[in-house]
Structure formats: structure tokens, C-alpha cells
Chains A and B, each alone.
Chain A
Amino acid sequence: MRWTIGIRLGFLLACFSIVAALLVGYFTFAAGRDMLNGRARSTLLATTQILTQHMQSGFGSVARDTSMLASLVAQTQDVGTQGDAQARALDRDRLASAFKAMLVARPAYLQIRWISAQDHGLELVRVERSGMGLVRVEGDALQEKAHFPFVFETLKLGASAIYMSEFGLNREGGSDQGVQQPVFNIAASIAQGGRVLGVVVIRVAADGFFANFSAGLPTPYAFYLTNRWGDFLAHADRQQTYGFDRGQRILVQDSMPEVGQILQGRSRQVVMEYPGIDGNPQVLAFARMPLGFQEDGRFLVVGLSQPMAVIQSEVGGLGQSILKVLLALCLAGLLLAAWVSRVVTGPLQAMARATQAFSQGRVHGELPVQRHDELGDLARSFSEMEQQITLQMAELNASRDAMEHLAYHDALTGLPNRRMFEQRLAQTLEMSRRSGRPCALLFVDLDDFKPINDNLGHAVGDAVLKATARVILGAVRQVDTVARLAGDEFTVLCENVDSEDAAEQIADKLQQAFGQPLDIHGKPYAVRASIGLSLFPRDAQDAHALLASADAAMYRVKMNRRNGTS
């Protein structure tokens, strides 16, 4: 393949368009990726914040249930007064039924209790979920709970207060399910006449509670929860939770220092990237969630993580569509390059072909002279140059032809001159030798020509010579060669003369032609010619001898005529 301008130009354009497309593609991809990553991060953070709001409203709804039960307890007569034992038992049975109804309605609730402010926080009514269903615990099995925060903190808060405990592993034994499982308690104070007489506590299974929210999350999300010191309470890896319960602090700020900013109150939310428990990168968002219903500075940190793969698959989709566009752009670039290359090189090639054809003298096609660009200029210049050259060549050829004619012809009569005659004679003798057919040579000389020139002038002499040439040409055959050797000497070379008689006939015919006067400038002018005939091969064997023989014959005729013998 030749490294033509067209290929070079096309290659250059193709390279340029591919590089441009690649650059644009890359930067679009990078910008898109960053945008998608940013959006994924902000979406994750927004989801986390929405989750905290939902959780808070979830806590609120438990608080309303607790509050409602507390007011129910407050309405029973035995809370404040020492009623009779039977009425008191009846009241407690009714409350136990109400607690049961609540547990039935709320699957995440594990236990509902009415705890006295007296007797070290003795439980008065306790209903809980157990393996056998809902169980009411009575008698000796009722326990003292004053040392639990949900009792002493709630009592401290006073009338109509709601307290939410920390998340923790359930350390309270009993028949209920969920010993050692993560729980939280929400308590409401029972007040009568401004005196706080006890609390109602609802214990909620953290897992069941969170299930309400995490069910709404897309599956690749993982949920994290830490207390305000950073201990994990919920983690994608369960082994990381409640480490302090096993004498081991597993703190979020140790593995993810950014979350420390929330714990220290310097930030309300953070987003970051870390490897997940499976080692794959993930995005994590953490947000602060106030704990409880008082402004006491307690909070939890809620976190969500999403595998980067989810975001990266979106980025991958983006990359694929950009790649498709890129391929289309590259293809378009290639086509454009090919087209531009054709547009530029087509006329150039046409002109190259035209130049070639012109140099070989062949006809060529149209040139793009009508174009208004550089190629048009070039084509027009070329066309003008071609016309110029053609014209000059024609002149040159004409003058060469004229020169050639002059070299072989007599300028006055236009008849072949001696040089051409001798060439013809040699050719004819050669032909005659081969064919065996004789040829004849007539030598014609005007009688008394010299006096014409001397007396009437050279112009008349020339006119006589021209008229003589016409007469001779008119008298001989078309194929015979008539030449003027010099002065008034003419020769006629007749090929293929079959016989001597035929030769004599030609000579006679020529003689008769001179019987008529010549037409000189419209006037008749009688001229006589002496004609000598020699035949080949009868009279001579070569051109020179044949010419001499004819000359001699002519001379004999001229002498005889002078001596009066016709």
C-alpha cells in the first residue's frame, strides 16, 4: 500500500477523531462516575436520615402505647388507695388482659409490666411472651426492678414522663423469651394526684423493632447502630455487637475514625467508604439520632452501608452506554475521515490522471475547474497550462511539418525535389526487382526555357514552371511520382509499367499535353518539352544509370528536334 496523501490525511483525521472521542468519553465517564458516586452517597445519607426519623417515630408510637397503658393503670382504684384485696386482684386481672391485648397487637413487644415505686421496684403486673404464648407472671416470681434505669430514671422524671432506656442485651431472667437478646425498654410514669406511684414498662425486641424498618430497605443495605460511646449495637457481623458484654470494647471509631466526629458532637452525619465484612468496598453513612424523649444529650448513631458494587454497576452501565456512544463516534469519525480524504484527494487524483493522460497524449475527463477553492485554482491553472502547451505543440508540429515539406519538396511547384525523388526511385527500383515488374522513368526538360527567364523575367519563368508542373501532374497517373530535379528539369517515375508500349503511351500522353499552350496569368503561352524515357531493368540496372539513360534519351530528343527531325 502506498502511503498516499489520502491515506495519510484519512489516518490523521481518524486518529484525531478517535483520540477526541476517547478523551470526551473518558472525561464524561469520570464526571458521570463522580456524580453517580456523589449521588449514591447523598442518597445513602438521606436514606439513613429518613431511617432515623422512622425509627424515632417508631419509638414515639411505643411511647404512646406505654403512656396509654400508664393512664389505664392510673385509673384503677388500687394504685393510690389501699382497697380490699379482692377488688385489687380484679383490677390487676383487667390490666393483665389489657397488657395481653397490647402484646397480641404488637409482635415486637416482649413484655409489659406495671412496676411499683415502692418495695424496691416490685413488679405488680407482668405479662410476657414465652415459648407457650403470652404468660402472666405472678406471686413469688415477681421481681424487684428499682435498680434498672427504666425505673429509677422514670421515677426521677416525675409525673407523665416517658423514658427510653439504652439498647442492651436483656439481662433480666424470667420465663420470657429474649434473655440475652438485644432489647430496649420504654417506660411511662403512673401518677395520681401529682404523686408518682410506679411505672409501666414495655420491653421491645430490638431485632423485631428494626425488622419493621429494614424490611423497607433494599437488600444490599446493611444496618449499623452504636451507642453514644461507639459500641456496636447492630452490625452486619453480629460478633461485633455488644462486645462490652464480653469484656471487650468494639468501638466504631476504632475501625471508622470519621464516626468519632458524631460521637464527639462535631458533626451530625458522615459518609465514607470502607471495606465491608466480605472485604468488598462499601459506602457507609452514619447519622446521629437523639435517644429518648428528653433533652438529656443521649443519642444513638445509626448507620447504613451499601456495597460499592451496586453503585459500580450503575457506573458500569454508564460506562457501557458511553462506550456505545464512543464506538458510534469513532465509526462516524472513521467515515468522516474517509469522506474528507476522498473529497480532498478525489480531485487531486483526477488531476493526476489528467496529467498522465495529457503527457501520453490521451484524452482525459473533466477537471474540477468550477470549484471555488484551492483545488479549483489548481485545476484552472492546470487547464490553462494544458491549453498553452497544446497550442504551442500544434505550432511546433506545423512548423516541423513545413520544414520537412521544404526538405523534400520544391518550394516553387510543390513537387518532390531531387532528394525525395532519389529516395522514391531507390524504393521503386527495389520494389520492381522484387516484383519483376518493370518501371519507367521520364525525364522532361522544357525547350528554350532560359530565354523566357531572361526575356520575360523570373516571375514569368516561375509561372511557366508551375504551369508545367500542373500539366505533367494532369497528364500522368495518380500513382506516378512527379518531381522537379532542378531548373526546368522534371522527372516522372512510373511504377508497374507492364510493357514498353505502356511506357511509350505515358510518354506520348505527356507529349500531347504539352501540345496545348500553357495558361500563364490568364494568357496562353506555348511551351515545348523534350521527354526522355528509360525503362528499368531494360535500360539500366541502378538508379543513377537509369536517370542518366533517361537524361540521355531526353537529350537525344532535344538534339533531333533542333536538327529539324521531329
Chain B
Amino acid sequence: MSLNAIRMRRVWLLLALVAMGWALLVSPVHAAPATLRVLTWSGYADPDLVAVFEKRHGVRVEITTVGSDDTLRAKFADTKAPAYDVVAANTVEIARFVELQQLAPLPMADIPNAARQLPRFRKLDAIAGITRQGRVYALPYTYSEMGLIYDRQQLLEPPESMAVLWDPRWQGRVLAFDGSSHAFSLAALHLEQSPFRIDPAQWGAVARDLVALRRNLLSLYNLPEESLDLFRRHGVAVMHANYGQQQLKLFQDAGLDVGYVVPREGALAWLDCWAISSRSQQQPLAAQWINYMLEPQVGRELTRRQGLANTLEEPQGLAGGVVKGPILWLEPVEETERRERLWQRIVSGDRPERF
């Protein structure tokens, strides 16, 4: 090969390299896939399920998980970071976001899977906070109702009413959750009052009812493991299950012969919904995401992996007539601080005459 031929080859090689470099530099601008930013709780969108959606729509999904409502609120409101397209939040938070006009109305025609949901999740008007002026702002995804767990050895029949918690027959064998908001809602239900709107004249009565409950308790618990420990060691008969069916599963896995019931008065329940941010630049894709999350196999995986109920099928724990009352989706309560203040005194052991 002559020297000239070698030189020519080098020139061609150099040109080819330059062309390739240019192609690499320029192509992402045209070919970068759209990115859907999702703000959610851990376990709601596992990587393998996300991958299916990414493949189907040729997009990238960026999942951000949170562990508390406070973090969720802060991240969703952060205007410095790129906007999240989709958010999973409970009905109380959704109501807040709607109030602040941070959500976009859902294009229901693009979410056909909503028709597959259980009847109680299709009556969206009945779920406080997720609709406004005829527009739907969020669709339910998963929930957990706070029923009663009872020892089947001690209570041969499932309790009908939550009054069982106050029943002196079980004095010292009852457990309740240490949380002000739910505790007051529980007592209000017991007194057949509105759980989220306590009549100002009734505060004293509700508080004294909670003292009565306290006197009937073995103890209050914070953690599900703690409740299991107390239940087992102290022969507890009945318990208000703040962690719902997850807690039931924990007890059953520990080998306890327990039953679960939603009493006549109803059970409080948190309900997490999917919603689209008003800041989202790709709302059609976000609607596709919500539609995907409502597919039966996604719902089934959520139930199988996390022990959380989906909105398409009734959970096993609620089968067999254990639902004796309504499921009451959480709503913002009238005075959070007042409930906290009073609850703190009740927990501390103030006697009824002080309320």
C-alpha cells in the first residue's frame, strides 16, 4: 500500500469518527424519551411493574418514594425541583391539594380502567375531597380500614359494635392505638356522632368517653409489633386495629387465632389516590399511568406483596360478612390541635372530672 493510500485511509477514519461524535452529541436531543415523574409511597410502584409501563409507552418513569405525609407535602410543593406529574396521597392530603389548586382534573375518558373498580370506589361523590364542582381530581388506589381484631378463643362471635372496646367484661384485655385524631373519631362513632366534626358542645362528653375507654384498656400501642407483643403476652381479647389488614396478617402469621371485623358503627379508613399535578406538562401520559395502576394484575401484586387492599377486588379479610358497617374515608378533622391537646391529657391519665 502506498503512503498516499494510507494517508487517505486516515483521513476517512478521522471523518468517520467526527461524524460518529456529532451523531452522539446531537441524537439525544431528538431521541430522549419523555420522563414521567411519580411521587408515591414505597411499595406502590415496584421497579418490575414500572418497567412494564416504560416498555409499553416508550417512556422513562422516575419514582420518588416518601415515608410520611409531611415529606409528601413538602416534596409536592417544592417549586425549585422539576414538577411531579403524578402523586399518590390520602384523601385528606388530596382535599388539601384540591383546595390549593395544585391538581389537574382527571380526563376520565382516558382512564377506562376506573370502570373496573368496586362499586364503592366508583361513587366518587361519596368520597370526600376527591371531587369538586363535578370534576374528578383523584382516583382511589389502595386503602386500609381500621377494624377490630379479636381473639376467637375469648370472643366466640365477632363483636357487632365497637362498644366491645368499652365493655367492662374485657377490662384490662383491650388495646387501642395511641393517636389523637383517630381516637376522637372512634369515640365520636361510639357515641353515634360525626367522626370528623365533633359538635363543640360535645367535647367534654367525647373526652370522658375516651377516659372510660382508657380505664378499660390494658394499654395503648404505637407499633404493630408492639401490639402483637402485648396481645400475646397479656391475653388481650379485642383491639382497635389502626394498621388494619396488615396488622391482621401480622397476627395471623404469628399463629394467633384472631378474627377481624368492621363493626356496625363503621371503620375509619385511609384511602390513597392517584392524582395529576396541575404543573405537569404531560397530563395524557400521567392519565395513562393512572389507568395502568388500575389494571387488575397491578392491583393484585399490590395486595400480594404489601398486604394492602386494591380497589378492584374485595380483600379476603373482609369476606364472609365481617363488614357490618360502613367504611369511612378519612376527612380533615375540625380541630387537630384540640384533639391532640385533649388526647395528651387523656393518655397522661387525667380523671374524668377534669373534662
Which residues of A pack against B, CB within 8 Å?
120-123, 140, 143-149, 152, 156, 168, 171-174, 229, 231, 243-250
Q: B335-349 CB contact bits vs A (8 Å, 1 = yes)? A: 000000000110111
Query: Cα distance A245–B345 when bound, in Å?
Result: 17
Q: Is B209 an interface residue (CB 8 A)?
A: no
Whether A172 pairs with B348 at a CB distance below 8 angstroms is yes
Q: A172-B349, A246-B70 are in contact. Are A147 and B223 (CB under 8 A)?
A: no
A431 to B313, CA, bound (A): 147
Report B19 CB to chain A, min CB distance, Å: 42
B214 within 8 A of A: yes
Determine if B347 and A140 form an interchain contact, defined as CB atoms under 8 angstroms apart: no
* Interface residue from A140, A172, A246 paired with B353 (Cβ < 8 Å): A140
Residues of chain B in range 220-277 having any CB-CB distance to chain A below 8 Å: 220, 222-223, 225, 234
A173 to B345, CA, bound (A): 6
Across-interface contacts of B349 in A (CB, < 8 A): 120-121, 123, 143-145, 147-148, 172
Nearest chain A residue, comparing its CB with the CB of B174: A147
Contact A140 B68 (CB under 8 A): no
CB distance from A212 to the nearest CB of B (A): 27
> How long is the Cα–Cα vector from A138 to B193 in the complex, in angstroms?
35
Whether A174 and B172, one on each chain, are in contact in the complex, defined by CB atoms closer than 8 angstroms, is no
> Per a CB cutoff under 8 Å, which of B67, B69, B70, B347 touches A172?
B347
Q: Shortest distance in angstroms between B7's beta carbon and chain A's nearest beta carbon?
A: 37
A147 touching B68 in the complex, CB below 8 Å, given contacts A172-B348, A173-B345, A231-B223: no
Q: Are A244 and B222 in contact, CB atoms less than 8 angstroms apart?
A: yes
Residues of chain B within 8 A of A246, CB atoms compared? 68, 70
B178 contacts A171, C-beta separation under 8 Å: yes
In-complex Cβ contact of A140 among B214, B220, B234, B354 (8 A): B354
Residues of B within 8 A of A152 (CB): 172, 218-219, 234
The 4 A-B pairs at the shortest CB distance, nearest first, are namely: A143-B349, A144-B349, A248-B68, A173-B348
User: CA A146 – CA B215 in complex, angstroms?
Assistant: 8
Q: How far is the CB of B22 from chain A (nearest CB, A)?
A: 38
**A119 to chain B: closest CB distance in Å?**
9
Q: Is A173 touching B344 in the complex (CB atoms < 8 A)?
A: yes
**A245 and B222 in contact, given A121-B349, A152-B172, A171-B344 (Cβ under 8 angstroms):** yes
- CA A244 to CA B223, docked complex, whole Å: 7
Instruction: Supply 18 A–B pairs (Cβ within 8 Å), ascending by A.
Output: A140-B351, A143-B349, A143-B350, A144-B215, A144-B350, A148-B219, A152-B218, A168-B222, A171-B344, A171-B347, A172-B347, A174-B348, A229-B223, A243-B67, A244-B223, A247-B68, A249-B223, A250-B67
Q: Tell me whether B217 is interfacial, beta carbon within 8 Å.
A: yes
Q: Which of A143, A146, A173, A229 contacts B351 (CB 8 A)?
A: A143
Bound together, the chains give a CA A168 to CA B226 distance in angstroms of 12
> Once the chains are docked, how many angstroms separate the CA of A172 from the CA of B223?
18
What chain B residues lie within 8 Å of A148 (beta carbons)? Answer: 219, 349
- A250–B68 CA distance with the chains assembled, in angstroms: 11
Q: How far is the CA of A146 from the CA of B219 in the complex (A)?
A: 8
Alpha-carbon distance between A229 and B351 when the two chains are bound, in angstroms: 33
Which B residues are closer than 8 A to A by beta carbons?
67-71, 172, 178, 214-215, 217-220, 222-223, 225, 234, 344-345, 347-351, 353-354
Q: How far is the CA of A143 from the CA of B350 in the complex (A)?
A: 5
Residues of A within 8 A of B67 (CB): 243, 248-250
CA A246 to CA B217, docked complex, whole Å: 23
Which residues of A lie under 8 Å from residue B354 when comparing CB positions?
A: 140
List 19 other contacts, CB 8 Å, given A173-B347, A229-B225: A120-B349, A122-B351, A144-B349, A147-B214, A149-B219, A152-B218, A152-B219, A152-B234, A171-B178, A171-B344, A171-B347, A173-B345, A174-B348, A243-B67, A244-B222, A246-B70, A247-B69, A248-B67, A249-B67
In Å, the complex CA distance between A247 and B242 comes to 11
Residue of A nearest to B218 (CB): A152
A147 and B219 CA atoms in complex are apart in Å by 4
Residue contact A147 to B351, C-beta cutoff 8 Å: no
B257 smallest CB distance to A (angstroms): 22
Contacts A229-B223, A244-B222: A144 and B347 contacting too (C-beta < 8 A)? no
The CA-CA distance from A10 to B115 in the complex, in Å, is 90
B249 nearest CB across to chain A (Å): 16
Looking at B70, B345, B348, the one whose CB has the most chain A CB atoms below 10 A away is: B348
Q: How far is the CA of A89 from the CA of B351 in the complex (A)?
A: 21
Query: Which residue of chain A has the shortest Cβ distance to B341 in the bound complex?
Result: A173
Q: Which residues of B contact A229 (CB under 8 A)?
A: 223, 225
Residue in chain B with minimal CB distance to A156: B234
Whether A147 touches B345, Cβ cut-off 8 Å, given contacts A152-B172, A247-B69, is no
**Complexed CA–CA distance, A145 and B348 (Å):** 7
Instruction: Please indicate the chain A residues that have their CB under 8 angstroms from the CB of B71 in the complex.
Output: 248
A380 to B189, CA, bound (A): 121
Partner of B348, one of A149, A171, A245: A171
Least distance between A169 CB and chain B CB atoms (Å): 10
| Cα A249 to Cα B217 with chains together (Å) | 25
Which residue among B220, B349, B351 has the maximum number of chain A CB atoms within 10 Å of its CB? B349
- Report the bound CA distance from A131 to B325 in whole Å: 49
In the assembled complex, the Cα of A174 lies from the Cα of B218 at a distance in Å of 22
Within the complex, what minimum Cβ distance (angstroms) separates A146 from chain B? 8
Q: Give complex CA distance A243, B222 in Å.
A: 11
The distance in angstroms between the C-alpha atoms of A365 and B334, with both chains bound, is 116
- Give A247 Cβ to nearest chain B Cβ, in Å: 6
Residue of B nearest to A119 (CB): B351
- A170: nearest residue on chain B (CB-CB)? B348
In Å, the complex CA distance between A146 and B223 comes to 20
Q: Is the CB of A120 within 8 A of B172?
A: no
Q: Which residue of A is nearest B217, CB measured?
A: A147
Given A173-B348, A229-B223, A244-B223 in contact, is the A147-B353 Cβ separation under 8 Å?
no
**Alpha-carbon distance A140/B350, docked complex (angstroms):** 8
- When the two chains form their complex, are residues A120 and B215 in contact, meaning their CB atoms are under 8 A apart? yes
The CA-CA distance from A149 to B214 in the complex, in Å, is: 13
Chain A proximity of B76: nearest CB distance (Å):
16
Q: For the complex formed, measure the closest distance between the CB of B185 and the CB atoms of chain A, giving whole angstroms.
A: 16
Known pairs A140-B351, A173-B345; A147 contacts B220 (CB<8 A): yes
Is B172 in contact with A144, judged by CB distance below 8 angstroms? no
CB distance from A232 to the nearest CB of B (A): 13
Give the residues in chain A near B344, CB-CB below 8 Å.
171, 173
